[in-house]
Amino acid sequence: MYNTKFCKISYLKEKNAILCQWKQFCKGDDYRDPLKYALKEIEKHQISTWITDTTYGFESTEADTKWLLEEFVPSVINSSIEKVVFIIADDSSLMDEIKGQEVALSEYFEVVLVERLDAV
């Protein structure tokens, strides 16, 4: 498990999933390091589901969004991940951003939006 004041990454063995729980705004290595850790766990355990809890999510900086699209997403596409789940409330301020990600990611993965982890 990876846990900082910004993000917690957990391996959910029973769901064969990696859970990324954002806690507060961060950028640079504070944003990227948890995602890099998650990629190592995905490879180690051949994880098939990526779950992001956006409850305390935030809009990323332009530099981190660029890194996400150019480096992180291609790594996930080439991994064992088959399904991407976003935990998001219907009235979340991030809904438009997540809907956009849903459209883009649907080309490569099954993408699901749920309101609670127990719905996964």
pLDDT digits (tens, 9 = 90+) for 6-15: 999 999 999 9
Segment 74-90, tens digit of pLDDT: 999 999 999 999 999 98
For residue 116, what are the contacts with CB-CB under 8 A and spacing of at least 6?
87
How far apart are alpha carbons 11 and 55 in whole angstroms? 19
> Is pTM beyond 0.85 here?
yes
Q: Are strands 2-3 and 7-12 parallel, antiparallel or unpaired?
A: antiparallel
pLDDT at residue 17, as a whole number: 98
Exposure of 84 by Cβ count < 10 A (0-12 exposed, 13-18 middle, 19+ buried)? buried
